[in-house]
């Protein structure tokens, strides 16, 4: 996602934190965040091209084989070097630190929190599990209404931007409020299952990646080959997918952080 998508995922997550999670996240956030996780959730995109952070660039996605429309951790996340591996890794860093406050902390836990929050958003962008051959849609040149862009950017930014202009008076907080209402009144029966993992798992990114490539094939790539002009039909049929993935990303980020910081016992 672009900035708006990441902001929305983290803002939604923050509304579902349990008490101990609120406290732990507050402690880890840098002062300039002013208590808002959402304020720092785009940071991994801002730094990924700097020489000292180049190693993080591949952790934003997990490309999958062309036209297979499935995802396999051992195949698509070699040496854990992909968005799902990054989610496992940063979850483990936060767990090991919160389990044993006396152990020497080997990690920068503020960074771990910010990376985990960002990558949990990205794994829910269907084209972040898109095809290797087109770099998750980056090489698919399309027109969004009368603007030249690529399919990946349509899903990172354009669908959200168009929705903001058309329906929300260009107000991101109004759009987020609408998603929060949907979570409360429309998707309320699904929220629990979205957030749950297999027993004893703290993070479970693999099913999220599988869902994403399935949606990429059924919605993102569908009728969007190179040089296509995408307009109202594509926008109206794909916006509900984008909204649901943003909401799911938020719920699953909150559920993961709650399992890390507010374990039941
Ligand atoms: N594990 C890990 N780093 C890896 C592989 C595994 O920290 N690269 C840890 C965390 C997993 C546990 O091992 O929860 C079991 O991994 P797997 O699910 O093999 O079954
Ligand atoms: N895995 C990993 N690092 C972890 C946890 C898991 O590399 N910390 C890898 C090895 C697991 C695979 O992911 O076998 C699938 O994980 P799971 O079965 O836990 O979903
Ligand atoms: N991306 C992707 N798969 C790739 C390469 C990039 O999903 N193989 C994503 C990461 C960014 C966007 O596409 O969200 C643009 O990539 P970059 O910023 O690296 O140009
Ligand atoms: Zn992207
Ligand atoms: Zn990213």
- Per-residue pLDDT, averaged over 131-160, amounts to 98
201 CA closest ligand 2 atom index: 19
Q: Which residue has the tokens 């609120």?
A: 22
On whether ipTM exceeds 0.95, the answer is: no
Counting Cα atoms < 13 Å in the Cβ hemisphere of 125 gives: 32
Q: For the packed helices 109-123 and 19-28, what is the interaxial angle rounded to 10 degrees?
A: 120
Q: How confident is the model at residue 263 (pLDDT cuts 50, 70, 90)?
A: confident
Ligand 2 site, residue 110, Cβ cutoff 6 A: no
* Ligand with an atom nearest the CA of residue 157: 4
Would you list the DSSP string of 59-101? GG---B-TTT----HHHHSGGG-SHHHHHHHHHHHHHHHHH-T
* Residue nearest ligand 2's atom 8 by CA: 88
Q: Probe ligand 1: pick from 74, 84, 87, 88, max atoms within 8 Å of CB?
A: 88
Counting Cα atoms < 13 Å in the Cβ hemisphere of 147 gives: 11
In the sheet where 147-150 sits, what is the strand order? 147-150, 141-144, 229-230
The pLDDT > 70 percentage for the chain reads 97
Query: Whole-structure pTM over 0.80, yes or no?
Result: yes
Around ion ligand 5, residues with a beta carbon closer than 5 Å are 45, 60, 122
- pLDDT tens column, 54-93: 999 999 999 999 999 999 999 999 999 999 999 999 999 9
The pLDDT score that the predictor gives to residue 136 is: 98
């Amino acid at each position: 996602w672009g900035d708006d998508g990441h902001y929305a995922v983290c803002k939604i997550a923050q509304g579902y934190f349990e008490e101990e999670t609120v406290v732990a996240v507050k402690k880890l956030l840098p002062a300039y965040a002013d208590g808002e996780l959402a304020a720092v959730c785009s940071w991994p995109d801002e730094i990924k091209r700097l020489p000292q952070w180049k190693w993080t660039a591949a952790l934003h996605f997990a490309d999958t084989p062309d036209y297979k429309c499935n995802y396999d951790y051992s195949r698509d996340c070699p040496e854990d070097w992909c968005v799902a591996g990054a989610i496992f890794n940063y979850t483990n860093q936060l767990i090991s630190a919160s389990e044993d406050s006396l152990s020497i902390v080997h990690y920068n836990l503020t960074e771990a929190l910010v990376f985990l929050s960002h990558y949990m958003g990205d794994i829910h962008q269907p084209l972040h599990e898109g095809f290797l051959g087109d770099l998750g849609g980056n090489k698919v040149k399309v027109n969004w209404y009368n603007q030249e862009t690529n399919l990946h950017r349509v899903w990172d930014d354009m669908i959200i931007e168009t929705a903001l202009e058309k329906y929300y008076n260009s107000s991101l907080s109004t759009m987020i409020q609408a998603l929060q209402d949907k979570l409360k009144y429309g998707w309320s029966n699904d929220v629990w299952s979205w957030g749950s993992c297999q027993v004893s798992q703290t993070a479970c990114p693999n099913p999220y990646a599988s869902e994403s490539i399935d949606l990429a094939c059924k919605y993102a790539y569908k009728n969007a080959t190179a040089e296509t002009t995408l307009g109202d039909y594509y926008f109206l049929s794909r916006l509900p997918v984008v909204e649901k993935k943003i909401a799911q990303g938020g719920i699953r980020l909150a559920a993961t952080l709650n399992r890390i910081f507010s374990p039941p016992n």
